Structure 1
Amino acid sequence: MTRTLYLLCSAAPPVFDVARVIEDAQARGWDVCLGLSPTAADWLAEGTDGLAALTGHPVRSRYKRPADPDVWPSADAILVAPATFNTVNGWALGLTDRFVVGVAAEALGKGTPLAVMPCVNTAFVRHPQFEQSLAVLRGAGVRVLYGDDGFTPHPPGQGAARPYPWTLALDAVDDLVRGDFQERGR
């Protein structure tokens, strides 16, 4: 039973753990395709060949050209994590100029199970758009892993008080597809 997970990452410090997260997801039976925001792609530029070898798929940070073939299999679930302030708001507002946001936005219309775990500091969460964006995503059926149920923001410049809860994020996508996968007989 192969399940395909799109792991879509923004440029926040937990993105540096992505190889371990991919390995953890693979141990759970996921075929992982890694998508990165432009800045996350820049941060991980020296390691993208290794990440592509680890996943068996190209690491993507840009849209393909219209005539180019799809290089990833269809997603059974999508995890957007770490999701920055910009990613969360862009996705909720439907601003799809960046690949990771566009994939997540289109997945809403396809009915693909989605989870998002923000990675923001307390200054960003005080902006009124952030809570509105989380509400929009929840209302669209996205599993939002934030606060007591996920990531807890920290003060600016102080780093997280506890490690980014990647295991919780992987548990969430497992939960999202468990019933659906059994129904489809995969």
Structure 2
Amino acid sequence: MTPSTLYLFGSAAPPLFDVAKVIEAAQADGWDVCLGLTPTAARWLDGSLDGLAVLTGHPVRSTYVLPGEPDVWPGADVILFAPATFNSINSWALGLTQDFVVGVAAEAVGKGVPTVTVPCVSAAYARHRQLDRSVVELREQGVTVLYGEDGFAPEAATDKTWDAALAAAKWRLTGAA
């Protein structure tokens, strides 16, 4: 049986440094993981990208392919975008797709690919009213957003946050945790 494919996307926020552990947890749960990063997140993990590619068995991507180039990843069954920064959440909700991972996440809404996100923002950004507007917009488009009323405090992400995010991705695919 072919494993389900999880696109694990991340922005440049401190929980990103746990991404190898998250990949291993997802793989232990049977996922085929493809890692995509915003350009800044890729810069943060620059020294680890080759190892992360070996870990996932797929190239780590942070840019769009050029026209005519084949896509080297299998199709996504589920997308988990975590951590998702203030910029990524707002860009996604507004349909601004300059970054590869934001573009794929935005397109996933239109394709009906189950998608989960965990915003990771500072307390100051959390008070900016655009964040709440963007969270509402993404939820209205069918994205599971683990933030606010769900009781998550992403700026203090823990293994429990990652476990909940992976469980939400599994639930979006199968209806069971």
* Structure 1 residue identity aligned to 2:99: R
State how 1:18-167 maps to structure 2 within 5 Å. 18-149=19-150, 151-152=152-153, 160=156, 163=158, 165-167=161-163
Consecutive unaligned residues in structure 1, runs of 5 or more: 155-159, 181-186
CA-atom RMSD, angstroms?
Answer: 1.4
Q: Are the aligned partners of 1:7 and 1:79 in contact in 2 as well (CA < 8 Å)?
A: yes
1:179: how far off? 4.0
Residue 66 (structure 1) shift: 1.1
1:169 aligns with 2:165: yes
Give 1:153 shift.
5.4
The answer for unaligned runs of 5 or more in structure 2 is none
SS of aligned partner of 1:117: strand
Counterpart residue number, 1:184: none
Quote how far apart the aligned CAs of 1:149 are. Answer: 2.1
Matched residues in 2 for 1:8 and 1:68: separation?
21
Question: Structure 2: how far apart are the matches of 1:103 and 1:79?
Answer: 11
Residue 121 of structure 1 deviates from its aligned partner by 1.4
Amino acid at match of 1:123: A
Q: Is the 8 A contact 1:147 1:153 kept in 2?
A: no
Distance 1:153 1:29, change over 3 A: closer
Conserved in 1, the CA contact under 8 Å of 2:118 and 2:154? no
Report SS of the residue matched to 1:135: helix
Report the Cα offset of residue 152 of structure 1. Answer: 1.2
TM-score, normalised to structure 2's length? 0.94
TM-score, with length taken from structure 1: 0.90
Q: Return structure 1 stretches of 4+ with deviation > 3 angstroms.
A: none
